Structure formats: structure tokens, C-alpha cells
Amino acid sequence: MSDELIPILRVRDIASSVAWFERLGYSKEWEHRFEPTFPAFVSMGRGGGARIFLSEHAGDGGPNTLIYLRVTDVEPVAREFNAPIVDQPWAREVHLVDPDGNRVRVGAQRPELPLGVARGTR
């Protein structure tokens, strides 16, 4: 198994958060609760191996967290969320905020740059 880094976002309402991340192309993989009425902890996966955990547990994550999702094309995300595309020197991005105030930047590498290289750093 290779290393994997999985962000954990604190959410208030697991159902609305799962629905929001489904719009971003994620699918619910599993859900855990210690008891039926206890807070939920959910794993969401997206296509090529991107994964995120959503947690209703008070000690997990903090407000206003920022995560970055790199995709091949930001156009479908911009259309789905009716959000503008921001042209940055390193990527074309869409800036989103989930129902709990967590910030999600979705970016596609600029085609003229090798992966991981920002303009002006070569």
C-alpha cells in the first residue's frame, strides 16, 4: 500500500455534506457511528484515488479549513456550481465553499506548465 493523505473536514449535517461532495464527483464509500444516534464519520472517494473524510465529531477539524483538489478539467466543476474560473499562474481554479464554511479550491494544471511547476519558478 502506498502512502495516502486524507483531509478530515468537520461538518454539522452529514447528509447535506455528502450531497454537496457528490456534486463535486465524490461517492460515499462508508459511514461509521459508534451508536445509531451518535455523530457520523464518512469516507468519500473520487475517481482517481482522491479521498476525504467528513466528520460530525466536535474535535475533528476546525472551521474555515482550506483543501485543494487537482482535476484534469475545471470546466465541469464551474458549470455544476455556477462558479467563475480564476486563472492563476499555476492553475485554472474554481473557489468553492461547502455548507459548513470549509473552502475547496479545485484546480487544473495549466497546459503550458509541467506538473507541479508554477510560472516564474523554472
- DSSP annotation of 61 reads S
**Side by side, which strands form the sheet with 91-97?**
66-71, 103-109, 91-97, 86-87
Other CB atoms within 10 A of residue 90 CB = 15
The CATH H-level superfamily of 8-109 is 2,3-Dihydroxybiphenyl 1,2-Dioxygenase, domain 1 (3.10.180.10)
Each residue of 14-37: pLDDT tens digit?
Answer: 999 999 999 999 999 999 999 999
Each residue of 34-71: pLDDT tens digit?
Answer: 999 999 999 999 987 899 999 999 888 887 899 999 99
Strand, coil or helix: what is 22? helix
CA R_g for the chain: 16
Phi/psi at 115 (nearest 5 deg)?
Answer: -55, 130
Domain ranges of the chain: 8-109
